[in-house]
Amino acid sequence: MRKTACRAAALALFVLFAPLAPLVRAQDAAAKRGITAEDYFAFEFVGDPRISPDGRLVAYVLTTVDQRQNRRQSSVWLADAEGSRPPRQFTTSPQSSTSPRWSPDGCTLAFLSSRPADSSSSSSGGTVATQSGTAGTQGTAGASQSAPTPSSPPNAATNTPGAAATQSAAQTPAPAGMPGAIGTATTPGVPSALAVAAAGADAAPRAQVYALSLDGGEARRLTNLKNGVNSFQWSPDGSRLAVTTRTGPSDAKPPSSDVRHYRNTSYKFNDTGWFDDKRSHVWIVDVATGGARQLTSGEDWNDSDPRWSPDGRLVAFVSDRTGHAFDESRNTDVWVVNADGTGGLTKISDHDEADGSPRWSPDGKTIAFVGVVSQRDHPKIWLAPASGGSSSRLAVEGLDLIPSNLEWAEGGRALYFETGIRGETHLFRVDVAARKLRQVTRGPRAIRSVQMDERSRRMVYAANDFKRLDDLYVAELDGGGERQLTRLNAKLWGQLRLQEVERLTYKGADGWDVDGFLVKPLGWQEGRKYPLVLSIHGGPAAMYGVDWFHEFQVYAAKGWAVFYTNPRGSTGYGQKFERGIEGEWGGKDYVDVMSGVEAVLQKHPWLDRGRMGVTGGSYGGYLTNWIVGHTDIFKAAVTLRSVVNFVSDEGTRDGAYGHTPDFGGDLFEKFDLYWERSPLKYARNVRTPILILHSENDQRVPLEQAEQWFRALKHFGAPAEFVIFPRENHNLTRTGEPKHLVESLNWQTYWFERYLDGNARAVPPDAR
């Protein structure tokens, strides 16, 4: 009866309100305009889709940009899985709402939000808008809390050696589709001692779990944890939540000094800044009473990604408690603990590198996880007995890809995962018994955030392409019957002229095939010559390809062609290709990129060889710096968040000796090689005008790298300028303050206007 009532209420959300306005008709091409950097403020981003247990509704997060307040605002929306009704806004609080999670009975939707302590909610299920015993030692009983009063943000600095904790959901994440390379340089789905934490002691306010019934009414606050909630999962029976939160000695006793005192080499992280004494741990929360009990503990490690067993008796989680978690170690493992806090811990994984993303089989007997055997290996899918014992690799022919977002389906007969493959991102299925691999989704697009529902045998996912940001789609598990649920940004797309992208393959170093992509300039006319901008992705373990890149369309709107490529070192082409850069950054990867430039110049004579620019961020910035130190063929360069000196970078970046696998040894074993491959060594050769863009709080590639580069270039008389973005970190072009993100793109176009277009009157963004 309860399920029937809540389903009826859910359908009422779509019936009581006016239908979505019709889509904007395509305008005449002549009336459309080119895209600008400022169009970013109008973008709508979709993410974290979750299909309801009965398969009829999809909850998701919609993020918009508030230009006036210079922030992003997220809310939870509901879509009809049949696509027959327009989506509806579900939360309307002034504070962002993220991470929607359905209760097992499908009648309640829980989410994270950072709301005032004295306000239960300003959301209503009836007011909708139309959308165009800790296991720290050996499992002794943990501390408990009965709905403690939320505290103010703790002091920013403590005197305890630290590591990070899981990122606070209070900080609205920037969704996929923002400028930047596809993928990341970290192992997908495998948190490390560094990456498991992201909210520093200054982060405020604290996110808590709220629940809102589909029947309507006010949202009810389910948690009152002092340091907020970073992630949560419903128990199978819906009576409890497994949550992660940060705890530490300073919770009980404020520090007596504001100095930072460290005993370990991992004491900061890019997203976090300087670590405090708090660690991420798992707590169990009673949904009815709000009572909270700490399940895992420890001052020297982080615990994250809790996953309930199908019967609700056990919780699997990821921890870096093995080995030297805060001294150059990447070792994380999967552990299992009794949900009631009794007994000890069971270690499930057995590798010396990162293991993570635990997923219970439907029968509760097996845990699948993604694990790495050595620093030079791709992550693989592993299966382990839930009771402990040796794990076995799910050996599948042709699976030379990096799996992420692992999920069981079909009653345990199959595992599904997402991966990048030759410039696209798709969903794959592995038959567990037959060890056979099948690609489920296809086409020139990027499929992300796949979430499956076993009962309805449906899945929902986000997808985008060269000319569109993400929209949501629902399909059967075999990929059939796909339906589009959202059409975000339709009005904006109707106003813009966006360029198609040409895909090409050329020969790089050693005769290897390399993929490249070319964006034609807007208004291209036969017989005219056009400048070319080469863009190099970060990583290098990342991938360019079929995806939305705002900056490339802006470049094209300025009248420049854009060429981007996947040189060796990129993901999506197998382990041999990815490891092909080891020990020789600036070697064969440089040849791959420059061969691509020559190939596209030969294929398209309308490209002006005398007006070429180069740009890139992180590793792409490194290779940009390397290029201008080894050739003068480019007339302008823009380098973002880039390395120039590997010797000093190893002693100042957030990952201690993080380049060891890249160079086949640490700094002291390969000192000459580290310096040999540093662009700073070749600063005297640079003649190309270069703009350096860097973030003040970048801990991945610290600001000192940009300072060294700028001073060296000026010392040798190179035309160089230096722009520093305050308050930003390494993720400026992905999650930075909206105004800074837009200004960063405007600095790039300013520099190319000045040197590729020869516009001596080009005005820098800080003078407009």
Query: Quick one: pLDDT at residue 245?
Result: 97
> Which segments of the chain have a pLDDT < 70?
1-30, 117-204, 323-328, 656
Query: Quick one: pLDDT at residue 451?
Result: 96
Residue pair 236/312 in contact (Cβ under 8 Å)? The answer is yes
CA–CA separation, 288 and 283 (whole Å): 15
Q: How many CA atoms lie within 13 A of 622 on its CB side?
A: 20
CA–CA separation, 11 and 14 (whole Å): 6
Strands (E) in 540-588, as ranges, are: 561-565
CATH fold of 499-767:
Rossmann fold (3.40.50)
What one-character-per-residue DSSP string does 542-555 give? -B-SSS--HHHHHH
Question: Which one, of 411, 405, 410, lies nearest residue 428 by Cα?
Answer: 405
Domain boundaries, the chain: 2-492, 499-767
Question: Is the full-model pTM beyond 0.85?
Answer: yes
How far from the centroid of its chain's Cα atoms is residue 71's Cα?
18
Task: State residue 332 phi and psi, 5-degree precision.
Answer: -125, 155
* Residue 352 in tokens: 């010396």
Question: Which one, of 312, 270, 61, 93, lies nearest residue 164 by Cα?
Answer: 270
179 preceded by cis ω (within 30°)?
Answer: no
DSSP code at position 732: H
Helices (H), 558-618: 575-578, 588-603
Place of tokens 């981003």: 45
How far from the centroid of its chain's Cα atoms is residue 223's Cα?
26
Query: How many residues are listed for the chain in this entry?
Result: 768
Query: Quick one: pLDDT at residue 152?
Result: 28
CA–CA separation, 188 and 543 (whole Å): 13
530-536/607-617 β-pairing: parallel
The yes or no reply on domain 2-492 and CATH 1.10.10.10 is no
CA–CA separation, 160 and 152 (whole Å): 20
For residue range 639-653, list pLDDT tens digits in order: 999 999 999 999 999
CA–CA separation, 244 and 225 (whole Å): 10
Same CATH fold assignment for domains 2-492 and 499-767: no
Nearest 5°: CA angle at 550, between 491 and 721?
140
